[in-house]
Amino acid sequence: MIVINSLFLISEFMNEAFPFVAENIFTVMDSVRTPLMIIEFIAIGTLFVDLVVRFDKLKVKLQTAHVVAVGFCVISFLFQIFVFYMDSAFLS
């Protein structure tokens, strides 16, 4: 999931630096956007619940990394929803 979110962020923010790569990423992700968003929503919900339930059982060294990774996924998913909503609002 971190790879998918990273690819999305690269395609959005590196569009001017690497236009060919960003266009290819956007084309591939656009073809599977809806199922990917549904699966990602379920996965992020599962990760968040897992973080809350098992936080005390995680090793102390991994707690911060786990919180940062889940936070990155949640924030990136919310950003994706916002960007896709804005795209659809401007296109119609």
Q: Predicted confidence band at 13 (pLDDT cuts at 50, 70, 90)?
A: confident
- 30 lies in which domain range? 2-91
Query: Considering its fold, how many domains does the chain have in total?
Result: 1
Judge contact between 2 and 73, C-beta under 8 A. yes
pLDDT at 8: 76
35-39, 49-53, 62-66, 68-72: the lowest-pLDDT one? 35-39
What is residue 18's three-state secondary structure?
coil
3-state secondary structure of 48: helix
Q: Which two tokens stand for residue 85?
A: 């909503």
Give pLDDT tens digits for 35-44.
Answer: 888 888 999 9
Q: What is the DSSP letter of 7?
A: H
pLDDT at 46 over 80: yes
Residue linked to tokens 């549904």? 38
Reading the block at residue 30, the tokens are 């656009």
In the predicted model, what is the mean pLDDT of residues 6-11?
A: 76
How confident is the model at residue 28, as a pLDDT?
Answer: 79
Q: Which helix (H) or strand (E) holds 62?
A: helix 60-91
